[in-house]
């Protein structure tokens, strides 16, 4: 039987752009804060762990690097499991794993044990919580998606603002082990975030079915299945690996790789850099709070700007990524607390403007129907940048004996990532031009047909 390339979309009721969706925003807000907010605040632990184990910046940075990489590697797993079991169950399990990893890490006797507990175990727990909640947020919002993403991601900066001085206080009172133990208890709130998740209705998540998939389903209904083909269909439904053939998606993923090289190193090394310049420990921790406050402002303001659709979101993202790279390259000029506070404010503002819309751009690249699988694969591909970023910066720092070298590396990586956004922007323009040419060609053909008919008459 010949199968045509027709497609139909099976989806639940349209996104409500509100109603219970605001509870999904709240859940995602807390997930951002208790995952990436904790990672950004881990620089306070970084100094204490490095001194406790008498190790190098490179060796200590692998803790954060492995955590970030595991989040990215585990993203497709979180996406597939949430499609199979439901996002609520997967997020609750992820919250438990995150808590267990931190509690176990508080008893670590060497760096290897920290790599395994805080790095792999907590990182995988984060992957199981972050991917399903962000995906569900995309299902609940359409027109207000930029604003919803900006509000949800604001949890990262608000909790960073709160956690940095809090972690420093806890370390002073209970040592880094006691502080990490308390952090493990705090991570249990991720389970509450999972409890807030609720599907739009009784239908499955949005998914696009080809005529081939429909035919395979009919074969199963008639007890005449091709087992091999049915397995392929099921895999695509939960993990759509066909996205790898999407050129625009792969270009955007390469942007993610180089952006990840520069995203996480600054937050990890800002406190140690300030301490190396003679800044007092609580002032150094306050720098991350300043960055987080402006990060929040950047997410809200530029998320709102994106929602106005005054410019293309990819164009807005391109500008903010370039500005972020330039700000990081200027960091070595800051040598006093005042200068570092100004740098932290500028970095936070532009960083917030960048991350507030990068998921929105991903949804535009692949379509909301494939957002779940696309987010998982995007995180997986980006994992190489997240894994190599902090230790690569650590190598530069150890070789040059200067923390500012890590910021220079991050700035260069972000500027390179902007080149892939520029390429994607050009591809989008060419695609639109081709689409606009099609009606004109058809119109020309219609005019020629009318003229020939008129001449015959």
Domain ranges of the chain: 12-198+241-440
Q: How many CB atoms lie within 10 A of CB 223?
A: 6
CATH topology for the 12-198+241-440 domain: Growth Hormone; Chain: A; (1.20.1250)
Q: How many CB atoms lie within 10 A of CB 162?
A: 15
58 CB-near residues (< 8 Å, 6+ apart) = 391, 394, 395, 397, 398
Confidence of residue 15 (pLDDT cuts 50, 70, 90): low
Taking alpha carbons only, the member of 389, 163, 374, 132 closest to residue 269 is 389
Q: Where are the beta strands (DSSP E) in 146-221?
A: 207-210
Cα–Cα dist 373/83, whole Å: 10
For residues 432-441, average pLDDT: 58
- Residue 210 pairs with which residues in a beta bridge? 7
Cα–Cα dist 59/335, whole Å: 26
CB 392 within 8 A of CB 269: no
Structure confidence by residue, pLDDT tens digits, 278-298: 888 888 888 888 888 898 888
Total-model pTM: 0.67
Range list of H helices, 4-121: 21-41, 43-52, 57-85, 87-105, 111-114
Structure confidence by residue, pLDDT tens digits, 178-215: 999 999 999 999 999 999 998 776 444 444 444 444 44
- State yes or no: pLDDT of 8 exceeds 80: no
CB 128 within 8 A of CB 78: yes
Better-predicted residue by pLDDT, 242 or 135: 135
- State yes or no: pLDDT of 445 exceeds 90: no
CA distances from 453 to 241, 445, 450 (A): 50, 12, 5
């Amino acid at each position: 039987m010949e199968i045509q390339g027709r497609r139909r979309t099976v989806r639940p009721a349209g996104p409500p752009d509100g109603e219970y969706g605001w509870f999904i925003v709240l859940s995602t807000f807390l997930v951002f804060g208790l995952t990436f907010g904790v990672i950004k605040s881990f620089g306070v632990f970084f100094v204490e762990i490095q001194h406790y184990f008498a190790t190098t910046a490179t060796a200590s940075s692998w803790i954060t690097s492995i955590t970030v990489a595991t989040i990215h590697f585990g993203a497709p797993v979180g996406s597939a499991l949430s499609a199979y079991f439901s996002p609520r169950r997967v997020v609750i399990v992820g919250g438990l794993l995150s808590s267990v990893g931190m509690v176990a890490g508080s008893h670590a006797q060497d760096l290897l044990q920290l790599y395994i507990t805080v790095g792999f175990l907590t990182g995988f727990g984060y992957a199981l919580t972050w991917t399903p909640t962000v995906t569900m947020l995309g299902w609940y919002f359409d027109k207000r998606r930029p604003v919803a993403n900006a509000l949800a991601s604001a949890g990262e900066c608000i909790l960073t603002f709160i956690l940095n001085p809090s972690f420093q206080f806890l370390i002073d009172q209970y040592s880094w082990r006691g502080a990490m133990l308390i952090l493990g208890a705090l991570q249990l709130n991720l389970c509450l975030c999972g409890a807030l998740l609720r599907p739009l209705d009784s239908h499955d998540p949005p998914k696009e079915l080809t005529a081939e998939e429909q035919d395979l389903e009919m074969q199963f209904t008639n007890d005449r299945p091709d087992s091999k083909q049915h397995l392929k269909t099921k895999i695509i439904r939960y993990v759509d690996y066909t996205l790898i053939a999407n050129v625009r998606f792969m270009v955007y993923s390469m942007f993610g790789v180089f952006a990840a090289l520069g995203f996480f190193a600054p937050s990890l090394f800002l406190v140690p850099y300030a301490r190396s310049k003679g800044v007092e420990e609580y002032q150094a921790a306050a720098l991350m709070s300043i960055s987080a406050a402006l990060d929040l402002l950047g997410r809200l303001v530029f998320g709102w700007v994106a929602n106005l659709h005054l410019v293309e979101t990819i164009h807005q993202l391109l500008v903010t990524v370039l500005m972020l790279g330039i700000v990081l390259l200027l960091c070595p000029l800051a040598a006093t607390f005042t200068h570092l506070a100004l740098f932290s404010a500028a970095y936070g503002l532009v960083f917030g403007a960048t991350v507030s819309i990068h998921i929105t751009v991903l949804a535009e690249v692949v379509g909301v129907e494939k957002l779940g699988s696309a987010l998982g694969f995007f995180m997986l591909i980006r994992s190489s940048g997240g894994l190599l970023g902090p230790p690569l910066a650590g190598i530069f720092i150890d070789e040059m004996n200067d923390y500012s070298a890590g910021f220079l590396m991050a700035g260069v990586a972000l500027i390179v990532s902007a080149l892939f956004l520029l390429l994607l922007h050009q591809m989008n323009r060419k695609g639109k031009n081709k689409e606009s040419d099609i009606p004109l060609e058809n119109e020309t053909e219609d005019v020629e047909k009318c003229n020939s008919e008129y001449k015959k008459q």
